[in-house]
Amino acid sequence: MGFKYYLTTPIYYVNDEPHLGHAYTTVAADALARYMRLRGGDVLFLTGTDEHGQKVERAARERGEHPKQLADRMVDRFQALWRRLQISNDDFIRTTEERHRQAATLLFQTIQQHGDIYKGEYEGWYCTPCESFIPEGQMEEERTCPDCGRATERLKEESYFFAMSRYQGALLQHLEENPAFIQPESRRNEIVSFVQRGLRDLSISRTSFSWGIPIPGDSRHVMYVWVDALTNYLTAAGYGSDPERFRHYWPADVHLIGKDILRFHAVYWPTLLMAAHLPLPRQVFAHGWWTVEGKKMSKSVRNVVEPNRLLDEFGVDAFRYFLLREVPFGLDGDFSRSALISRINGDLANDLGNLFSRVLTMIERYLGGVLSRPRSGSGPLSDRARAMVGEVRELMECLSFHRALGRIWDFIADMNRFVDEKAPWLLARERDKREELETVLYDLAEGLRLTSLHLFPFMPETARKMWKQLGISSRWEDQVGEASWQWGQLSDGVRVAKAEALFPRLQKEKEKRIATARAEAAPPPAPVLPEPAPPSPRAGSHTLVSLEEFCRLDLRVAHIMAAYPIPGSKKLIRLEVDLGGETRTLVAGIGQTHQPERLQGRKVVIVANLAPAKLMGIESQGMILAASGDGGQPVLIVPETDVPPGAKVR
Ligand code: MSP
């Protein structure tokens, strides 16, 4: 086994409804875990539920249930969502488990033995939803909680205290010596100034309720939920139960959390560990907060984004991709359906999906679906691919998911350009270009293999679909290790098999509404041309143009090299045409009357100097001419006898 990598999400309050925020932290951790596994890491990826505390106790009482019963019922919703989101956690911890009680008890006793726990009395304002005492100075007006805005209550009780103030200097020193300990940088600075303002001792037990881990030797007290909850990271690593496992996995490499719970992880947690003489985690990374269409998610505004509904509609991979691509990891972001749909249509259906389907179609059409490994060296794509592998690695190591995805998409753009430059449809026409054609298509397939490997952490289903179509094992375990990240792994003679499109295009809400309204009003005649067709001259309504004006149109004979359907559109076809040495891409609205395979090799007339227009995300660099048939169907205009491609039409 390679390097060990222990990473955690927070454990989620078991009686909350899982929402976008929970999904975000967990998907991010999952992408990281999958990436580290592919790199050969011995990964321990932990998530779980936080099940103790007054909130759960009250909710259970209101329903006449035992709190454990409530937790058993509620935990399923998290576990079911994680299964749908394809979360690959290695362990799921529930704080009501016996192994956790043991670990939390041991931590308390250890700190007590070191003399850092004492008994006293605590009086203060407590926020029950956040399970947190709010210092006077941080209280909002009306004594509401600065974090959640809800009412706080006055509590006075005997309490055990953790002498956190003793660790102020040690924590500051640690923060200074380990700049990567709290990330991003801005969060680190916040914590440094918080600690510099002075640390107070922390009340770590409660007597006002009983649903928690009893304080050893004094069972009137239960452990403060945050101390209980934080300890989960030790429990799962084997603290108090499996010393060998503990030595191997602890300290954690990354605690991934949201910025709202940074203080607990960046101040309470390291000082508790220091007091127990345990090593500190290498990093606490706090991501930003999601708002919805500009507003804070909240039940009262009824704008809570439920991941299950988005998964029903858009599928797991698009949702995972969107979360990690849309917003720089660490900053706040805003969720909107239209942004999600744009990402699906642009990045996924168009850039990635079209490329993949184009390349596979060409391999099937020109090489009978069988790849040959080039005999002579590797082409320019291999250098680009190598650069991507290295850069994505660095970006993943610093949890810069959006940039890692951006870098993968740069490579996808390189491949799209490479297809256009190499024009395999031209190579396919010349016998002596066979070897070059084989090399170009091998390089593209290999580039797509490396792309799929990089996509696996983010979109596991898509990567598996790509692996299957590329004729390689669809088990990630077979792709582990350094060799997989090297160029040239597709073997000679591998057979590709094109299957369903990776991402069908979605209609944007607005387009959908317009299309539906139009269809309901009157079915429009099928538009033949991608650009609005000029009004057809009817008797008596001729607009006269001068010869000079007519000559401004550059009409030419074009040879259709290749034609492909455009996923998600019945009407549009993508054409690669030869204009006599120059290749153009056209998008033509003839899909309902012409089959792409029948168009290949034909000569047609096009307007070659029409301003380019984007259709279904593809730039059309010209317009094919067709007459309107009896039923309004497009009838292509073709030269009477053979003329070379590029010949001018006047
Ligand atoms: N139980 C504690 C954590 C204990 S860890 C030792 C807790 N649980 S929680 O259920 O409230 O979930 C917290 C996680 O969800 C945090 O990482 C938090 O940042 C994340 N999110 C909750 N709402 C969020 C958004 N609106 N946006 C992004 N993430 C947010 O706190």
Instruction: Answer yes or no: is the C-beta of 10 below 6 A from any ligand 1 atom.
Output: yes
Task: State the distance from the centre of ligand 1 to the C-alpha of 345, rounded, in angstroms.
Answer: 30
Instruction: For the chain, state the CA radius of gyration.
Output: 31
Which fold does the domain 3-307 belong to in CATH? Rossmann fold (3.40.50)
**Ligand 1 neighbour 555 (Cβ under 6 A):** no
Q: For the segment 544-564, what is each residue's pLDDT rounded down to a tens digit?
A: 777 777 888 889 999 888 888
* Cα 25 to averaged position of ligand 1 atoms, centre (Å): 8
For residue 335, which amino acid is it?
Answer: F
Question: Cα–Cα–Cα angle for 468, 471, 475, nearest 5°?
Answer: 50
Backbone angles phi, psi at 551, to 5 degrees: -65, -15
Instruction: For residue range 161-218, list pLDDT tens digits in order.
Output: 999 999 999 999 999 999 999 999 999 999 999 999 999 999 999 998 899 999 999 9
* Residue type (1 letter), 316: V
| Amino acid in the structure at residue 284 | V
For atom 22 of ligand 1, the residue with the nearest CA is 21
Residue tagged 């308390």 (tokens): 108
Give all strands (DSSP E) within 138-253, no chain letters. Answer: 153-162, 182-183, 202-203, 205-206, 214-215, 218-223
Which of 261, 262, 267, 297 should be mutated for ligand 1, with most atoms under 8 A from CB? Answer: 261
Q: Tell me: the pLDDT tens digits for 238-289?
A: 999 999 999 999 999 999 999 999 999 999 999 999 999 999 999 999 999 9
| Ligand 1 and 82: CB distance under 6 A | no
Q: Residue 345 gets which letter from DSSP?
A: I
Contact 332, 289 (CB under 8 A): yes
Candidate of 254, 289, 304 to mutate for ligand 1, largest count of ligand atoms within 8 Å of Cβ: 289
Between CA 263 and CA 82, with CA 245 as vertex, the angle to 5 degrees is 60
> Looking at this protein, which amino acid is placed at residue 637?
I
Domain range annotation of the chain: 3-307, 334-485, 547-636
pTM recorded for the entire structure: 0.79
Q: Cα separation of 424 and 559, whole Å?
A: 14
- For the CA atoms of 398, 315, 568, 456, the dihedral, rounded to the nearest 10 degrees, stands at 40
Rounded mean pLDDT, 624-648:
85
Quick one: pLDDT band at residue 520, thresholds 50, 70, 90? Answer: low
Q: Which residues pair with 7 in a beta bridge?
A: 45, 254
Q: How far is the CA of 260 from the centre of ligand 1 (A)?
A: 7
Q: Is 613 exposed, middle or buried (0-12, 13-18, 19+ CB in 10 A)?
A: middle
Q: Is the CB of 53 under 6 A from ligand 1?
A: no
Would the CB of 24 count as within 6 Å of ligand 1? yes
List, for residues 548-604, the tens digit of each pLDDT value. Answer: 778 888 899 998 888 888 888 888 999 888 887 777 889 999 988 888 888 888 899
Token representation of residue 278: 């345990």
| Closest ligand 1 atom number to CA of residue 256 | 17
Q: What is the mean pLDDT of residues 361-372?
A: 96
Number of H helices, E strands in the chain: 23, 26
Terminal CA-to-CA distance of the chain, rounded, Å? 71
Segment 14-25 shows an average pLDDT of 94
* Domain 334-485: CATH superfamily, name plus number: Isoleucyl-tRNA Synthetase; Domain 1 (1.10.730.10)
Residue nearest to atom 18 of ligand 1 (CA): 258
- Compute the average pLDDT of residues 141-158: 85
Confidence (pLDDT) at 389: 98
Q: Provide the mean pLDDT of the chain.
A: 90
For residue 89 the two structure tokens come to 């956690």
578 bridge partner residues: 559, 583
Q: Is the pLDDT of residue 530 over 60?
A: no
> Alpha helices of 428-542 — where are they, by DSSP H?
434-455, 460-469, 509-521
Instruction: Give Cα 624 to chain centroid, integer Å.
Output: 39
Instruction: Please write the tens of the pLDDT for every residue from 447-484.
Output: 999 999 999 999 999 999 999 999 999 899 999 988 99
Architecture of domain 547-636: Beta Barrel (2.40)
CB of residue 260 inside a 6 A radius of ligand 1: yes
Q: Ligand 1: distance of its center to the CA of 90 in Å?
A: 20
